[in-house]
Amino acid sequence: MTVYVESEDELGALAMKLLTEDVITNLAISRSVVDVREYIDLEVPIFYIEVVPTKRIPRVEVKDVLTVKETGTGCFDVEIVNERYAPQLLELMWSEFGEDNVHQIERNRLKLTKINLEDIMNLPIGEMKKNELMTVIRDMIFRIVPIGFRVIRNLSNDDKIAYIASENPILDEQIQWIEDNVLSRQPRELSIDRTELIPERETKPRRIVTYKEDII
Amino acid sequence: MYSNYTFDGGSYRHKELIELVEDLGGYVISKYILSNEATITFTVPSPDMPRIEVLAKELGGKIKNTPLLGTEIAVVTPTLTRHHLPHPLCDIAEFLRRGGANTNMIGLARGTGRRTAQISQRERDLIEEHDVAVVALGNFKRCIDEKIGIFLDLNVPLVISALPYPYEVSGCEYVPRMGKFPYKFKQIGELKILDEISSAVERCLNHRREEIMLDPPVVPPFVVKDEIEQQVEEAKYIMSPGGIALRLNGLRVKLPFDVCSDAILQVRVAGFTVGEICTIERSRLHNHILLDMRPRSMVESAFESTMQAEKISVLGEV
């Protein structure tokens, strides 16, 4: 994962880079994010952020998540094997089959009535993991975007999640300008590093203790 | 001249220390006993300090100079969101508390953004109740240039911390390298920045102290605190931590203004009532009572004029 932050104020950009890296670490998504690119125009002011998520997100199959046992005609005992998806699954089943037909008996056991087996196996849960990751990435973005920049436009597409934010109305020309002048070229690395932010520690020369002295 | 110190040590025989402080004409400001540990903050005349140090050594405790003791400091942030608040602000407040100060963290309601940042009159009044305000701003020089304006006209000594350096601001103390960081400061180089903030606050306070010493109050604020604690019944049952907080030139009594202000005005201190030597005000913070010490010259002139008026009335009767 690489984080690129571009701005005319390099010191601020470096602080923003640290902030981004820390938010990604906190949310534990550093392996799910390939690239993060930020552009900060202090004149307008405008903040652009794009995140490229990894494409290796496994699809979730019903058989991986549920074990289904038929107990009668149209009645099934369903056990949620992977509890990670339990809240989303329950919500999905209630919306697909109706709340009267889906009863939660225990924490991870459901009783379904008036339902075909095929309907259960065809539940649209394949994108569940991807959707979960996208939600976390959006959360990450809104932790990074300056809080005062309330005017936000979504510029996401299939390959990336991108947002542009400002405290003033965002014009199409501004977006076009960023696309033409910033996104069309390779991202630039910052010329300063973390040592510029924090003054270095004054180190005193250490006294080396010989083996014999140590014993004494 | 009084100096402020903190004693950290065992609770065993801590009463000896308190007695010695009182015998030397000093005052105990706060006393926290947690099982076997005692933390006592006190103020004593500077020349008598060696005697306290001898006793502290005997008790096996440590004496630390706390220059910010008896002050109330506002730590101001543009908002109370995670974008602005947690790490740097807590670090600043903690370092100031280590110096003995009482800190209040204040987040503005509409302090976000660059062009849109605002401060309301209520917030302004609230910040101006404090002795010093520490304002923590962000990372970008251009944004700080525009945003700093809303704080500069506050009628309180101001310390501003932000990331850009070199950067100059007139009318306040500026501490660089303290930006919007997402972690707590741990390294020695980082702790130095916090020390700089603490010493900038100290400079502001010393400047204010010199101003006060030109015409000092009749008695120091901690004497008034002591008398209020003894004479006002309600003051013994204040639930807030630090029930009566000291300010540089006054007190914050954490009691409801409407209920207790009259009782406090009647407290007798050194031959005067509190109403004579202090001005009383309603605080914007939880309706507390704010006392500001009047200068000695003002109290004495008022006293003389009342004496004269009494004389004239007595002569008239004769």
DSSP secondary structure letters along B217-228 = BSS-HHHHHHHH
| Token duo for residue B249 | 């030139």
Question: Do A51 and A72 fall into the same domain?
Answer: no
In a domain, A32, yes or no: yes
Distance CA(B37)–CA(B35), nearest Å, equals: 6
Q: Is residue A49 part of a domain?
A: yes
CB contact under 8 A, B117 and A18: no
Q: How many CB pairs under 8 A join A and B?
A: 81
Indicate if A68 and A49 belong to the same structural domain: no
Do A148 and A50 share a structural domain?
yes
pLDDT digits (tens, 9 = 90+) for B109-147: 998 888 889 999 999 999 999 999 999 998 899 989 888
Q: What is the mean pLDDT of residues A206-216?
A: 67
pLDDT lower than 50: segments of chain B:
none
Distance (Å) from the alpha carbon of B139 to chain A's nearest alpha carbon: 5
Place of tokens 């502001």: B204
Last residue of a domain, one of A72, A97, A126: A126
A67 and A43 in one domain?
no
Q: Is residue A208 part of a domain?
A: no
Give the separation between CA B67 and CA B46, rounded to whole angstroms.
13
Q: A209 lies in a domain?
A: no
> Residues 6 or more apart from B232 whose CB is under 8 A from it?
B260, B263, B264, B267
How far is residue B49's CA from residue A28's CA, in Å, rounded to a whole number? 54
Chain A residues inside the 8 Å CB shell of B177? 197-199
Q: Report the distance separating Cα A137 and Cα A36, nearest Å.
A: 11
B198: which 2 tokens? 């603490």
State pLDDT tens for residues A163-185.
999 999 999 999 999 999 999 99
CB contact under 8 A, A150 and B115: no
Residue A205 lies inside a defined structural domain of this protein: no
CB A100 within 8 A of CB A112: no
10 Å Cβ neighbour count for B143? Answer: 24
- Classify residue A181: in a domain, yes or no: yes
**Strand order of the sheet with strand A75-80?**
A66-72, A75-80, A109-112, A102-104
Is the residue at A191 inside a domain? yes
Asked whether this complex has an ipTM greater than 0.90, the answer is: no
Residue A10 contacts by C-beta under 8 Å, 6 or more apart in sequence?
A190, A191, A192
Question: Which residue range is the domain that position A163 belongs to?
Answer: 2-56+129-196
Per-residue pLDDT of B34-52, as tens digits, reads: 888 999 999 998 899 999 9
Domain count, chain A: 2
Residues A134 and A52 in one domain: yes
Residue A160 structure tokens:
């990336």
**Domain finish residue from A84, A103, A126:** A126
In a shared domain, residues A168 and A185: yes
Assess if residue A215 is contained within a domain.
no
Contacts of A45 in chain B (CB under 8 A): 114, 142-143
Residues A82 and A93 in one domain: yes
Whether residues B177 and A19 touch (CB distance < 8 A) is answered with: no
**pLDDT (mean) for A195-209:** 73
- A69 and A106 together in one domain: yes
| Beta carbons of B192 and A199 less than 8 Å apart | yes
B contact set with A (CB within 8 A): 78-79, 81-84, 112-117, 138-143, 163-165, 177, 179-183, 187-190, 192-193
Burial annotation A70-90 (CB, 10 A radius, 16+ → b, else e): eeeeeebebebeeeebbeebe
B128 close to B159: Cβ distance less than 8 angstroms:
no
At residue A129, the pLDDT reads 84
Q: Is the Cβ pair B187, A23 closer than 8 Å?
A: no
